[in-house]
C-alpha cells in the first residue's frame, strides 16, 4: 500500500457509516475517496489508475418536441485493475435513473453529488459490464424545436449521460439515435445502418476510436447536407442555411480549406488522418467558433458561410479556424492532455499549426504582420490587467475548467510556442512532435512529457524558460536607455522589469530598430538578463526613434522614450516597413493606455494615417482602435467635435479602398460610429436600398446589422425599422435571433430593463450569442448612462452564468456588460463589487479584472 492509499483509507475510515468503506466480500476491495461535486483531481487520479478499456454503447430516443424527455440506455464495458467501487459521473437527480445493473445484477441507485456509485462487491477485477437506463439531461444538448446538438467540453457529457467524464479515461462510443423521421443525424463515427418507420428513424453509428468524453459529439435535426470529395476523401457539410446562393458561394472553399489543412498536417506529422471520416456541422448560433469533435467538427455557421462583404480578416479568420479545428484531430483528439490544466497545449498547437497551414494559401499576405496583429494585441489585453492568468493554470476540479480559456491560451501561447520553435529550430520541433504523437497516440500526455522530450534536443534550459513564460502571468516592462555624446550614441541599453514585483526575468530575442532618414538599422539581441547593452551602436548618429520590438517578435510593454513617441506621432505613416508600422501602432496603443500619448492625440494620428495605410490588415487594426477610442476614450465634447471629420474619412476610405474587403471594413466601421444627422440619413438610405455602394453587395446579415445600428441611434421611426427588418428576414434561425434581441434595441427603456431582467432566468440564456449581443445593445455607448444600473446585478449573476453556461460565457457576458462603459461611477461599481466579495471564486475575479481593465483606464483618462 503506497503512502497515498494509506492516507485515503484513513480519511475514509473517519466517515462514519459511509457505505463505500472497505467492503470485504470474498476478495479484497480497494477503497476509494468519497466523490464530491464536480470531478475532482483526486477522483480523476484514482479512477484513471484503476479503470481502462472503456467502451460505451449509448442509445438515445429523441422525441419531436424539445419539452419531452430524451430517454436513453447505456452499456459501459470496462476493465478494473483492482476490485473497487466504480464511480460514474451523472450530474442529474437520482429520479432520472430508472435502473442500474452491474454484471447482470441489479444495483440500488445511489446518487452522491452528481455521481452514481456501483458498490465494490458487485464488480470484479478484470472485465465488467454496467447497464443503465436513464433520462438524459438537456443542458449540454442544446435542444431546439428543429434540431439539437451535444456540446460536452470540458466536462458536461456527464450532465447528459453517465460516463467517466475526464480526459484521461478514453473510451470508444457506439451510438444509436432514434429521431423523428424528418430528421437526419451526424456523429463522430460513420453511419452504419438505419431503420425507418412511419414517424421514427433509428440511426446507428459505428464504434469510435478511443476518445475522451469531451470529444463525443452528435447533432440531429432538420439539416441540409452537402456532399463533396477531395482526393478520394468524402466530406459532408450539415447546415441550416436557407439561401442556396450563400451555400454555393462558400461550399468549394470550405472543402478546399479542409483538404489543404489535412494534407499539410499529414505531411508535417508524418501520420495519416487518425479517424474514420470527417464531417462538418455548421450551427446557426454556435457558442464557439468551432469545436473539434473527432470526425465531426462543429462550426459557427456565419464563420464559414461568408457574405460577399467579408473583410480580409474574416477570410483569413475562416481559413485559420478550419486549420485550427483540423489540427486538433492530431493535437487534442489523437493525443489528449491528461488533465485540463494542459488544455492550452492542444489550443496552442492548433493555433500554431493553423498559422503555418494558412500562410502558403494566402501568398499576398504579410504573414509576420498577420501573426503579430492576430496574437499580440489580444494577449496584451489580458496580460496588462490585474487579472492576468498564466498559460498553464492549476486546476483542482473540472467544474472550474471553463475558466481556463481565454486570450492567454489562444493568443499568448502561440507567441510562446514560436519562441520555443526559435530555440529548437523548426526541424527539431517537428521531429519532437512526431515522436510525441507516436508515443502517446490514442492516449494522454502532459506538457512536462513534451518538454522532457524536447529538452533532449537542445542545449537551452527549456524547463527554466517554461517556468517564466508558461507558469507565470504577465509580461515584462522594457525600457530603453540611450546615452549620447556630441550628438552620437555613446551607449544604448535595454532593461526589463517585472511590473508585478516578482523579479522575474523573461528571456527572449529582440530586434532593436534605430530609425534614420534612409531606413531602420536593426540589431538582433538576446535579452537574457535585467539589462543588456545593444552591441555595435556606439558612435552612430542619434536616431529618430528606438523600437525594441520592430520585427513583431518581442513580447512586453515597450516603453517609448519621448523622442521616439514624438517622432511616431508626427511621422508614423511615413515608415515604409509594414511590420514596423504595425508594431508601432500596438506600442502606441499601450502607451495611450499607460497615460503617455493622450487619446485625442492618438485619435488624430489614426485619422491622418488611415488614408495612407495600404496594408489592409493594419488598416483594419486602426479601424478597430478608432471605434474603441471614439466611444470609450474621447470625452463627449471631443466626440462631437471629431464626428464630421471621422465620417468623412471613413466614407472616403470606402470609396478609395482597392479591395472589396477593405471597402467593407470601412463601411463596417462607419456603421458603428455614425452619429451625425447626414451620416444617419445616408445609412438609412443604404438600408432602404435607395443608395447602392459601388462594389459592395449586401446580404441579409448586413441589413440586420444596419437596422440594429439605426435603432440604437433612435432615428425617426426606429421601431418601424426594426419591425420591417424582422419581417424581411427569410432565414428562420436569423429571424429567431432578431426577435430575441429586438427588445434590447428598443428606444423604450422599460423594454430594455425587462430584457435585462429576463436574463436572470437560465432558460432565457440558452442561446449565449444572442444574450451577449443583447447585453451589448442595452449597454451601447449611446445608452450607457441608463445601462450603469445593469452592472451590479449583471456581476451578481456571473457565478450562475458560469455554473449553467458554456466555457466562454462568463468572459463574454462580462465583456457585453462592461465594454461600453467609461465613467468613474461605472468603474466604482465594479471595484465595489470586487471589494465586497471577499470569498469570490478566484477565476471569476480574474475574469472581471480582465474585462474591467479598459473601463478602469478609460475612467481615469476621460472621466475626470
Ligand atoms: Zn481549439
- Ligand 1 centroid to Cα of residue 65, in Å, is 32
Are 292 and 215 in contact by the 8 Å Cβ rule? The answer is: yes
In angstroms, the Cα distances linking 343 to 164, 210, 381 are 18, 18, 21
Q: Say how many C-beta atoms besides its own lie within 10 A of residue 545's C-beta.
A: 24
**Sign for the pseudo-dihedral over CA of 469, 472, 477, 483:** negative
Q: How remote is the CA of residue 88 from the centroid of ligand 1, in Å? A: 27
Give the per-residue pLDDT at 3: 41
Q: What is the total residue count of the chain?
A: 864
C-alpha to C-alpha distances, 750 to 274, 596, 605, 753, nearest whole angstrom = 55, 41, 41, 5
Ligand 1 centroid to Cα of residue 351, in Å, is: 7
What is the CA(327)–ligand 1 centre distance, in A? Answer: 9
Distance in Å, CA 299 to ligand 1 centroid: 11
Average pLDDT over residues 574-603: 97
Q: What's the pLDDT tens digit per position in 730-740?
A: 999 999 999 99
Q: Ligand 1 centroid to 442 CA: how many Å?
A: 18
Q: How far is the CA of 336 from the centre of ligand 1 (A)?
A: 12
What CATH number was assigned to the domain covering residues 49-221?
Answer: 2.60.40.1730
How remote is the CA of residue 147 from the centroid of ligand 1, in Å?
Answer: 24
Using a 10 angstrom Cβ sphere, with 0-12 exposed, 13-18 middle and 19 or more buried, the burial of residue 755 is: buried
Bond preceding residue 154 cis, omega within 30 of 0: yes
Distance 169 CA to ligand 1 centre (A): 20
- Res. 11: pLDDT tops 70: no
575 alpha carbon – ligand 1 mean position (Å): 36
pLDDT of residue 158: 98
Grid coordinates representing 464 are: 527554466
CA of 777 relative to ligand 1 center, distance in Å: 28
Q: Is residue 442 within 8 Å of residue 334, measured between CB atoms?
A: yes
Separation of CA 328 and ligand 1 centre (Å): 7
Q: Look up the pTM and report it.
A: 0.90
Q: What is the mean pLDDT of residues 751-756?
A: 98
Ligand 1: centre distance to CA 229 (Å): 25
Q: What is the mean pLDDT of residues 648-659?
A: 96
| For residue 14, pLDDT beyond 60 | no
> How far is ligand 1, taken at its centre, from the CA of residue 292, in Å?
7
Q: Check if the beta carbon of residue 799 is closer than 8 Å to that of residue 760.
A: no
CB contact burial 548-570 (16+ within 10 A = b; e otherwise): bbbbbbbbbbbbbeeebbebbbe
Instruction: Compute the distance from residue 761 Cα to the ligand 1 centre, in Å.
Output: 30
Half-sphere exposure at residue 82, Cβ-oriented, CA atoms within 13 angstroms: 13
Distance 216 CA to ligand 1 centre (A): 15
How far is ligand 1, taken at its centre, from the CA of residue 63, in Å?
32
One fold for both 223-330 and 338-469? yes
Q: Please give the distance, rounded to the nearest whole angstrom, from the Cα atom of residue 288 to the centre of ligand 1.
A: 9
Q: Which fold has domain 338-469?
A: Neutral Protease; domain 2 (1.10.390)
% of residues, the chain, pLDDT over 70? 97
Least confident among 279-288, 458-467, 587-596: 458-467
How far is the C-alpha of 779 from the C-alpha of 855, rounded, in Å? 13
DSSP state of 120: G
Q: Kindly report the CA angle at 627 between 626 and 628, in degrees rounded to 5?
A: 95
Q: How far is the CA of 465 from the centre of ligand 1 (A)?
A: 24
Report residue 321 as a C-alpha cell. Answer: 479556424
Distance, CA 326 to ligand 1 centroid (Å)? 9
Spacing, Cα 354 to ligand 1 middle (Å): 10
Among 169, 153, 90, 163, CA closest to 293: 153
Q: pLDDT for 351-384, tens place per residue?
A: 989 999 998 888 989 999 999 999 999 999 999 9
The strand order across the sheet containing 508-516 reads 519-527, 508-516, 545-547
How far apart are alpha carbons 551 and 549 in whole angstroms?
6
Q: Contact at 8 Å (CB) between 326 and 297?
A: yes
Contacts with 153 (C-beta within 8 Å, 6 or more apart), sequence order: 214, 215, 291, 807
Beta-strand runs (E) in 113-250: 115-118, 126-135, 147-149, 171-180, 184-187, 191-196, 200-207, 218-221, 224-230, 233-239
Distance of CA 795 to the CA centre of its chain: 21
Q: How far is the CA of 289 from the centre of ligand 1 (A)?
A: 9
| Rounded distance from Cα 236 to ligand 1 centre (Å) | 21
Place of cell 451625425: 676
Q: What is the C-alpha separation between 756 and 790, in angstroms, rounded?
A: 7
Is the pLDDT confidence value at 22 over 90? no
How far does the centroid of ligand 1 lie from the alpha carbon of residue 727, in Å?
Answer: 37
Q: Specify the pLDDT at position 25.
A: 43
Question: Ligand 1 centroid vs 349 CA: distance in angstroms?
Answer: 9
Using alpha carbons, list the distances in angstroms from residue 702 to 308, 683, 801: 10, 12, 30
Alpha carbons 55 and 556: distance in angstroms, whole number: 48
Ligand 1: centre distance to CA 381 (Å)? 20
**pLDDT at 239 > cutoff 50:** yes
Distance CA 367, CA 359 (A): 6
Please state, rounded to an integer, the average pLDDT across all residues of the chain.
Answer: 94
Would the pLDDT of 673 be above 90?
Answer: yes
Antiparallel, parallel or unpaired: β 51-61 and 171-180: parallel
Q: What is the pLDDT of residue 313?
A: 86
Say yes or no to pLDDT of 287 above 50.
Answer: yes
Q: Which has the minimum average pLDDT: 516-520, 677-681, 745-749, 779-783?
A: 516-520
**What's the rounded mean pLDDT across residues 165-187?**
98
The pLDDT-based confidence of 864 (bands split at 50, 70, 90) is low
- For 292-355, give the DSSP string: --TTEEEEEHHHHS--TT--HHHHHHHHHHHHHHHHHTTBTTTEEESSGGGHHHHHHHHHHHHH
CA distance 158 to 351: 28
Sequence ranges of the domains in the chain: 49-221, 223-330, 338-469, 750-864
Structure confidence at residue 12 (pLDDT)? 41
Report how far ligand 1's centroid is from the alpha carbon of 817 (Å): 25
Q: Given this model, what pLDDT does residue 460 score?
A: 86
Say if residue 243's pLDDT is above 70. Answer: yes
pLDDT for residue 807:
87
pLDDT category at 31 given cuts 50, 70, 90 is confident
Tell me the fold of 223-330. Neutral Protease; domain 2 (1.10.390)
Distance 346 CA to ligand 1 centre (A): 7
Tell me how far the alpha carbon of residue 807 lies from the centroid of ligand 1, in angstroms: 12
Report the separation in Å between the CA atom of 272 and the middle of ligand 1, taken as the mean of its atom positions. 20
> 602-625 pLDDT, tens per residue?
999 999 999 999 999 999 999 999
105 sits in which H/E element: strand 105-106
CA 317–ligand 1 middle distance (angstroms): 13
Amino acid at each position: 500500500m503506497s503512502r497515498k492509499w494509506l492516507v485515503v483509507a484513513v480519511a475514509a475510515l473517519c466517515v462514519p457509516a459511509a457505505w463505500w468503506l472497505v467492503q470485504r466480500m470474498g476478495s479484497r476491495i480497494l477503497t476509494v475517496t468519497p466523490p464530491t461535486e464536480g470531478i475532482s483531481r483526486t477522483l480523476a487520479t484514482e479512477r484513471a489508475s484503476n479503470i481502462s478499456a472503456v467502451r460505451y454503447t449509448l442509445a438515445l430516443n429523441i422525441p419531436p418536441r424539445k419539452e419531452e424527455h430524451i430517454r436513453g440506455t447505456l452499456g459501459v464495458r470496462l476493465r478494473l485493475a483492482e476490485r473497487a467501487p466504480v464511480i460514474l459521473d451523472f450530474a442529474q437527480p437520482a429520479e432520472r435513473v430508472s435502473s442500474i445493473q452491474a454484471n447482470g445484477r441489479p444495483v440500488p441507485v445511489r446518487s452522491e453529488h452528481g455521481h452514481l456509485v456501483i458498490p465494490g462487491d458487485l464488480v470484479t477485477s478484470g472485465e465488467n459490464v454496467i447497464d443503465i437506463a436513464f433520462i438524459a439531461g438537456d443542458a449540454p444538448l442544446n435542444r431546439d424545436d428543429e434540431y439539437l446538438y451535444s456540446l460536452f467540453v470540458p466536462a458536461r457529457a456527464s450532465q447528459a449521460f453517465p460516463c467517466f467524464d475526464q480526459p484521461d479515461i478514453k473510451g470508444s462510443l457506439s451510438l444509436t439515435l432514434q429521431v423523428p423521421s424528418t430528421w437526419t443525424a451526424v456523429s463522430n463515427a460513420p453511419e452504419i445502418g438505419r431503420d425507418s418507420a412511419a414517424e421514427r428513424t433509428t440511426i446507428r453509428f459505428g464504434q469510435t476510436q478511443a476518445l475522451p468524453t469531451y470529444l463525443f459529439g452528435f447533432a440531429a435535426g432538420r439539416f441540409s447536407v452537402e456532399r463533396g470529395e477531395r482526393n478520394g476523401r468524402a466530406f459532408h457539410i450539415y447546415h441550416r442555411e436557407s439561401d442556396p446562393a450563400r451555400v454555393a458561394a462558400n461550399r468549394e472553399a470550405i472543402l478546399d480549406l479542409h483538404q489543404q489543412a489535412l494534407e499539410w498536417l499529414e505531411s508535417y506529422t508524418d501520420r495519416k488522418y487518425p479517424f474514420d471520416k470527417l464531417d462538418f456541422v455548421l450551427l446557426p448560433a454556435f457558442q464557439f467558433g468551432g469545436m473539434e469533435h473527432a470526425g465531426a467538427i462543429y462550426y459557427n455557421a456565419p464563420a464559414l458561410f461568408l457574405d460577399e462583404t467579408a473583410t480580409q480578416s474574416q477570410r483569413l479568420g475562416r481559413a485559420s479556424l478550419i486549420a485550427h479545428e483540423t489540427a486538433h484531430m492530431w493535437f487534442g483528439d489523437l493525443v489528449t492532455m491528461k488533465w485540463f490544466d494542459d488544455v492550452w497545449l492542444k489550443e496552442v498547437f492548433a493555433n500554431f499549426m493553423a498559422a503555418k497551414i494558412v500562410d502558403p494559401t494566402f501568398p499576398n499576405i504579410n504573414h509576420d504582420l498577420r501573426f503579430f496583429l492576430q496574437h499580440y494585441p489580444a494577449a496584451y489585453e489580458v496580460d496588462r490587467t490585474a487579472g492576468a492568468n498564466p498559460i498553464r493554470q492549476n486546476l483542482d476540479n473540472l467544474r472550474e475548467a471553463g475558466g481556463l480559456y481565454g486570450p492567454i491560451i489562444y493568443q499568448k501561447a502561440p507567441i510562446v510556442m514560436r519562441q520555443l520553435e526559435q530555440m529548437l529550430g523548426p526541424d527539431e520541433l517537428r521531429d519532437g512532435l512526431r515522436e510525441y504523437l507516436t508515443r502517446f497516440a490514442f492516449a494522454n500526455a502532459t506538457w512536462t512529457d513534451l518538454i522532457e522530450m524536447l529538452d533532449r534536443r537542445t542545449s537551452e534550459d527549456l524547463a527554466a524558460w517554461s517556468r517564466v513564460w508558461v507558469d507565470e502571468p504577465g509580461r515584462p516592462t522594457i525600457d530603453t536607455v540611450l546615452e549620447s555624446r556630441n550628438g552620437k550614441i555613446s551607449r544604448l541599453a535595454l532593461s526589463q522589469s517585472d511590473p508585478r514585483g516578482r523579479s522575474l526575468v523573461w528571456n527572449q530575442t529582440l530586434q532593436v530598430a534605430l530609425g534614420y532618414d534612409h531606413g531602420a538599422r536593426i540589431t538582433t539581441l538576446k535579452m537574457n538578463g535585467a539589462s543588456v547593452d545593444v552591441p555595435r551602436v556606439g558612435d552612430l548618429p542619434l536616431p529618430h526613434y528606438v523600437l525594441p520590438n520592430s520585427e513583431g517578435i518581442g513580447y512586453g510593454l515597450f516603453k517609448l522614450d519621448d523622442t521616439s513617441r514624438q517622432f511616431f506621432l508626427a511621422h508614423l505613416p511615413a515608415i515604409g516597413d509594414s511590420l514596423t508600422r504595425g508594431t508601432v501602432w500596438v506600442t502606441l496603443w499601450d502607451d495611450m493606455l499607460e497615460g503617455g500619448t493622450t487619446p485625442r492625440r492618438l485619435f488624430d494620428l489614426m485619422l491622418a494615417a488611415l488614408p495612407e495605410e495600404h496594408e489592409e490588415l493594419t488598416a483594419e487594426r486602426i479601424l478597430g482602435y478608432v471605434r474603441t477610442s471614439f466611444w470609450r476614450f474621447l470625452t463627449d465634447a471631443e466626440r462631437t467635435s471629431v464626428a464630421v471629420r471621422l465620417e468623412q474619412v471613413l466614407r472616403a476610405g470606402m470609396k478609395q479602398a482597392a479591395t472589396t474587403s477593405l471597402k467593407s471594413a470601412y463601411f463596417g466601421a462607419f456603421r458603428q460610429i455614425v452619429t451625425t444627422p447626414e451620416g444617419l440619413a445616408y445609412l438609412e438610405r443604404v438600408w432602404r436600398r435607395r443608395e447602392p455602394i459601388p462594389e459592395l453587395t449586401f446580404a441579409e446579415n448586413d441589413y440586420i446589422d444596419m437596422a440594429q445600428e439605426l435603432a440604437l441611434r433612435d432615428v425617426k421611426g426606429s421601431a418601424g425599422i426594426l419591425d420591417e427588418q424582422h419581417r424581411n428576414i427569410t432565414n428562420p434561425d436569423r429571424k429567431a435571433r432578431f426577435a430575441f434581441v429586438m427588445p434590447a434595441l428598443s428606444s423604450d427603456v422599460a423594454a430594455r430593463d425587462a430584457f435585462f431582467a429576463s436574463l436572470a432566468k437560465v432558460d432565457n440564456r440558452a442561446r449565449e450569442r444572442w444574450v451577449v449581443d443583447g447585453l451589448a445593445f442595452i449597454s451601447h455607448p449611446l445608452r450607457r448612462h441608463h445601462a450603469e444600473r445593469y452592472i451590479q446585478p449583471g456581476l451578481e449573476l456571473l457565478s450562475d452564468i458560469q455554473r449553467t453556461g458554456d466555457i466562454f460565457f462568463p468572459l463574454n457576458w462580462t465583456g457585453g456588460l462592461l465594454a461600453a462603459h467609461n465613467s468613474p461611477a461605472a468603474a466604482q461599481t465594479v471595484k465595489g463589487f470586487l471589494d465586497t466579495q471577499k470569498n469570490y471564486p478566484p477565476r471569476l475575479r480574474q475574469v472581471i479584472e480582465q474585462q474591467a481593465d479598459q473601463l478602469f483606464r478609460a475612467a481615469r483618462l476621460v472621466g475626470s
